[in-house]
Amino acid sequence: MTNLNFILPEIFISLSIMFLLLLGVFKKNSSDIVHNLSVVSLIITGVLIYNNSSNQNISLFNGGFVVDQLSSFMKILTILGGAFVLSISTKYLKIFKIFLIEYPVLILSSILGMMVMISSNDLMVFYIGLELQSLALYVLASFNRDQLKSSESGLKYFVLSALSSGLLLYGCSLIYGFSGSTNFDVIGDTMSASHYGLTFGIVFILVGLAFKISAVPFHMWAPDVYEGSPTVVTLFFAIVPKVAALTVFIRFLYIPFVNMIEQWQPILIFLSIASMIFGAIAAIGQNNLKRLIAYSSIGHMGYALAGLSTGSNEGIQGSIVYITIYLFMNLAFFCCLLMLKRNDEYFETVDDLSGLSKNHPILSLSLLVILFSLAGIPPLAGFFAKFYVFKAVIEQSMYFLAIVGLLSTVIAAFYYLKIIKVIYFDGEKESYDNDHNIWLKMSLTFSTLLILLYFIFPSQLVEIVSRINIL
């Protein structure tokens, strides 16, 4: 075990969770300390991951756990998302009287599960990571237990997630039964495309993973859970688990089953097309902003899957760039949503944005940039995200997929423009409070500037991602 230093980030975050839990239990009124220390521990974990990143593939635990360029990048992305969520959620949690030590501990636990998922090169390791993530997310969804909607969303997520985990486990057992191993490399060496049992196993696992990223037709939990959960938890749901699930998609499909592309490519294309179209159309009639962003995220996952369905390195890299930009766009949107506060009451409908530009011109401008970026309007970051995906899709001559993607972008632009119309042209409402958390203001400023100025340095992100070569 000389290479144990390669799993230092996981060891450190595990020890941090145990320490913070003990601190919270034995020291009274320690919510602030635990909260701040959890952000610090995430930053230290990010530094450890960065120090461990190397150009070579390091295999640990008989090949079940890998450290490579893909895992390092996605882990840093996960850590960033978690740190941002923790830093901006303090005020919200205090207002709802749920500022408890359990919140940061649960966030860290789910991030640990995601880190294990991202590095997994074995079905069992992946499943352990998935369950560690899911158990924390069940509790987070119903964290505001005094609210009926929050309890309902937690229960709904638990029941449906347990069903998807069962299907996933069944798929794992099928693949193990037909290949004789759970290790991705061994499965890749031993299997052949003639095994129908393997195809069924792949289908079951893809169904389970599609549920985790809320791809159509396994999206049914997302709108209700997004709406019912506390807003800061919804932000976490919207960005961080998607990064881990997308990484598993890449590892699972492109390492053991890259030779079976004919079997799984049509499934990914179907999931992608269905998600893009449904996400764009279903969001049109929504008035609640959290439900709207739920349908929007379903559509966005469709674009990310479109890149993965190409079966090329460019497609994988396009999807990774997409999920990175998507993370910052969603972060910026939820920062705006957390600023819609008046007399310790939060507002989250489209009507609440009515005439926002009159009283809050800077916030309105930020929202304008974010919504245009989500719609994919050039020269904002969202345009480049879609451009890289479409470029990879067209290079593989998958023209139908590209056309559907472009059409759904046009449809989606409609409801984004509807919100902009409400902000700038409808009658103004009473102004919102300005006493926001400094971290909330900084997060919004940083993510908005990143979206706005991405076109100045688009090659920087592409250059980092281009080092990730799976095929």
**Cα 359 to Cα 370: distance, rounded to the nearest angstrom:** 19
Question: What letter represents residue 163's amino acid?
Answer: L
Phi first, then psi: give them for residue 353, nearest 5 degrees: -90, 0
Euclidean distance between CA atoms 335 and 439, whole angstroms: 10
Rounded mean pLDDT, 164-191: 85
- Give dist(CA 286, CA 290) in Å, integer: 9
430 vs 15, residue with greater confidence: 15
Helix axes 289-308, 399-425, angle to 10 degrees: 160
421 pLDDT above the threshold of 50: yes
pLDDT grade for 1, boundaries at 50, 70 and 90: very low
CB 46 within 8 A of CB 76: yes
Helix (H) or strand (E) holding 253: helix 231-254
- pLDDT bucket at 15, cuts 50 / 70 / 90: very high
Query: What 8-state DSSP symbol labels residue 288?
Result: B
DSSP labels, 218-252? S-TTHHHHHHHS-HHHHHHHHHHHHHHHHHHHHHH
Q: Is the pLDDT of residue 209 over 80?
A: yes
Instruction: Give the chain's mean pLDDT.
Output: 87
pLDDT tens per residue, range 61-105: 888 888 888 888 999 999 999 999 998 888 888 888 888 888 899
- Say what angle helices 289-308 and 313-338 make with each other, to 10 degrees: 170
Tokens representing residue 67 in the block: 């450290």
Which residues have C-beta within 8 Å of that of residue 198, sequence separation ≥ 6? 174, 175, 178, 179, 191, 257, 260
For the CA atoms of the chain, what is the radius of gyration?
A: 21
State both tokens at 342.
């008046």
Reduced to 3 states (helix: H, G, I; strand: E, B; else coil), residue 269 is: helix
